[in-house]
Structure 1
């Protein structure tokens, strides 16, 4: 008998030797308190023989036999939340142009209620083998969402490279270039690993991507739709909340093994969204009937919710060089800027705007500012007319479509009408009489309060760029708060 065929038998025999002492009613061990049915099931599980070889993950990924840790995360940042109502799977990979992950996570969390945050689990699956990069992503998430990691809402995991076969030994399929074959093969196995991890953690599982946006109330919408279809005794397999690819596809966690098995069987053959469609066809369609009959049958188990509650916002695919401007037309418009009623001011900047995306319009709340390649020494200046008693400020750079177009290494400075003789130790003065009151963080946000008692009335506020940027810059939110603000 080959080692591969003998392994299940060996494991079965070992399992039998461990449980056999506890299989009688008189045992004082925990197994002795099991019901007759439970003991019978355990006994049946232990009676495998070498004459029958049941298929397992090792049948399709035999290399896993050489790596005992291949089916455990290589990296895991988790509080161990279990019994979630909804598990959201968010796979992410290193992108060459720009990352949408933090914007996506922020939107998913902000669109939940406080109660939903205690009932859901978001699993960020960093599908990279470079552990330094994985830790970098995890560290960024820790800085941005510390309370949600602590509460257990957010988890971060990554797979070991040993889970995957030799990606240079794949068969060329569908006439695709080998680079694309490797990309879609890895995506199939990424999804399988993520689903295996998520399966025991909740009731429903929703597959997402790292470059999407959603709407307020999306969790309640999905939960209520699932409960409604279940109450109607609809034998659904997929509830679909987005018309694009694999985004927004909901499954029952107990049925994820069907998907995992199918993805692992055909990981080298087809893209993951095609495999989902073929799985449904295999389960439902009668080959003796015409395609219309098949579609009608599929619609009974693959149920679409309208309008869509997820939108794809990325333009740069995880496949190198691929640009995709896919949009779900049912979703509606995405908010690209956040208007506020700011005090009267004359605004100016030496950063050239793109088309009509001027600083003036952004300050008035009519659009956002989009400037070309900020350079060291560039400024964005607000001259208040009349001067104001400043209470606080908020500047948000980047937006959901261009999350990397942020202001980096940029300080927030104010010019008091009368320069105070002394300043609090936390404040610094510039050579030209401005006082530094804040700076943009690594997420492209500058937010703070101003001590009006120390600085008095302010006649100008300035954003000063200290380092040349490789990206354009967007200001999607400008909010100036004065002591007169409501």
Structure 2
């Protein structure tokens, strides 16, 4: 009996020691195991939750959310379906908001920062997700009055999902919507975008989500095309070109029905960020893909107005932009050089003069430059560039940038170092230096053509410079 007890005790010690050793070996690999199993556990938990919610929504035809989406009849409020499939749909949803109306500013930003060539490849799709007929009529009238040209060219389409689409999903009346409840707002927002995505599935190859209070950066369409080209041989589900939520998310249009159904099933359970994260993982994309620099900012974000910390460039639509200001430019002594074709009566130097003469060229091509080379370095506090005619804005340079130069070299004092100042908006730029260092000891101001123009004739009326005389 004692022998049996002794043997059992020895076996217990051996098992205990072996278990301890096994635990130690496993613990050494814990980080790797956790990293690998996270995605598996996510799939399992979401699959279980998906199955349970599927039973609730998919039992019986009246609750079949995914199939009901394909039979929705959307109301066309503005515009019509594009005649052919395009490369990109820029989609956003909007409803009544007590914080103010940003929708028109958002649309204006999208169209303004895009060239004519870029606009040929996109459709801007707006879902007015509110059942209030007065608000719908007023908003439609405003959109038509501001964007008639884009509507006629098939670049803008505005739709409305019927109230029946929200049946069994949303019970809170729109007129008493509580915007202070972030969870409720996000849930309603995801429903609105789910119906938006369902409609957009066949409009283009790719779909970009933004919101109705977003300012876009210059040529975001080209930047996205470059990213797509760079990753054409790499599988992906979602690319991110903004900081949070539904803003700046780029995906394949073929994934939209599945993503829309995913949002409809889980809109009450997670924030938009987490739902998109889970969808991305379930689709097989383990790591996020961030597009840098960011392409979209909220209007209430300082970054949306001043993406560069060194200067402030006024929008020509901004009431602060004063083309005919009484603040007369200094335009210190300088010579003007260009590699563009010049005409006998419209020389490059005319663009820098303070009279009404101007520079006119018949062949402004990407890479062409107009450079003001100052006789000596000065401390610049403001730069203004005006192209095109004063009223109709004919012969304006649609795609161009302005740079400040330093480190002059040689007898002609060409600058060897340039710093980006700002992009032209509607053929104009007006930048006031926010920090002295930006405009310190400037020797050159250069206007560079950055994109093609259908009519290559370009007029540069004024390049104006203000300097700090106190330093």
In the superposition, the TM-score normalised over structure 1's length comes to 0.49
User: Secondary structure of the equivalent of 2:251?
Assistant: strand
Cα offset for 1:335? Answer: 4.4
CA contact (8 A) 1:242 1:249 kept: yes
Cα offset for 1:189? Answer: 1.2
1:127 to 113, 126, 129: 129
Residue 313 of structure 1 pairs with residue 299 of structure 2: yes
4+ runs deviating over 6 angstroms: 54-57, 64-70
- Work out the CA distance in 2 between the residues paired with 1:177 and 1:87: 28
CA contact (8 A) 1:185 1:268 kept: yes
2:143 to 141, 144, 155: 141
User: Secondary structure of the equivalent of 2:257?
Assistant: helix
**1:4 aligns to what?**
none
Cα offset for 1:261? Answer: 1.9
- Counterpart mapping for 1:330-479 below 5 A: 331-332=307-308, 335-338=313-316, 339-340=321-322, 342=324, 344=326
CA contact (8 A) 2:111 2:119 kept: yes
**2:339 aligns to what?**
none
**1:112 aligns to what?**
114
User: Secondary structure of the equivalent of 1:200?
Assistant: coil
User: Secondary structure of the equivalent of 1:124?
Assistant: strand
Q: Which runs of 5+ in 1 are unaligned?
A: 1-53, 171-175, 285-296, 315-324, 346-362, 366-388, 391-446, 450-476, 479-484
- Work out the CA distance in 2 between the residues paired with 1:194 and 1:91: 7
- Work out the CA distance in 2 between the residues paired with 1:138 and 1:88: 18
- Work out the CA distance in 1 between the residues paired with 2:184 and 2:221: 34
User: Secondary structure of the equivalent of 2:245?
Assistant: coil
In structure 2, do the counterparts of structure 1 residues 67 and 248 end up closer, same or farther at CA, with 3 Å as the change threshold? closer
In structure 2, do the counterparts of structure 1 residues 146 and 329 end up closer, same or farther at CA, with 3 Å as the change threshold? closer
Aligned residues: 276
- Work out the CA distance in 2 between the residues paired with 1:282 and 1:330: 37
- Work out the CA distance in 2 between the residues paired with 1:168 and 1:72: 18
In structure 2, do the counterparts of structure 1 residues 228 and 168 end up closer, same or farther at CA, with 3 Å as the change threshold? closer
In structure 2, do the counterparts of structure 1 residues 342 and 58 end up closer, same or farther at CA, with 3 Å as the change threshold? same
Cα offset for 1:131? Answer: 2.6
Deviation by residue 1:298-349 (Cα, 9 ceiling, x = unmatched): 22xx3111111111113xxxxxxxxxx596899546745554553537xxxx
- Work out the CA distance in 1 between the residues paired with 2:140 and 2:293: 33
Cα offset for 1:61? Answer: 8.7
CA contact (8 A) 1:64 1:162 kept: no
- Work out the CA distance in 2 between the residues paired with 1:137 and 1:364: 42
Deviation by residue 1:173-223 (Cα, 9 ceiling, x = unmatched): xxx999544422221211110001111000010000111111221101101
- Work out the CA distance in 2 between the residues paired with 1:181 and 1:244: 15
In structure 2, do the counterparts of structure 1 residues 180 and 202 end up closer, same or farther at CA, with 3 Å as the change threshold? same
In structure 2, do the counterparts of structure 1 residues 181 and 146 end up closer, same or farther at CA, with 3 Å as the change threshold? same
**1:254 aligns to what?**
254
Deviation by residue 1:335-376 (Cα, 9 ceiling, x = unmatched): 45554553537xxxxxxxxxxxxxxxxx999xxxxxxxxxxx
Cα offset for 1:267? Answer: 2.0
User: Secondary structure of the equivalent of 2:286?
Assistant: helix
Deviation by residue 1:53-89 (Cα, 9 ceiling, x = unmatched): x999855993579999972224432221040111000
Q: Whose Rg is larger?
A: 2
- Work out the CA distance in 1 between the residues paired with 2:276 and 2:305: 22
User: Secondary structure of the equivalent of 1:94?
Assistant: coil
- Work out the CA distance in 2 between the residues paired with 1:303 and 1:249: 10
User: Secondary structure of the equivalent of 2:239?
Assistant: strand
Cα offset for 1:167? Answer: 6.0
In structure 2, do the counterparts of structure 1 residues 270 and 88 end up closer, same or farther at CA, with 3 Å as the change threshold? same
In structure 2, do the counterparts of structure 1 residues 58 and 128 end up closer, same or farther at CA, with 3 Å as the change threshold? farther
CA contact (8 A) 2:86 2:121 kept: yes
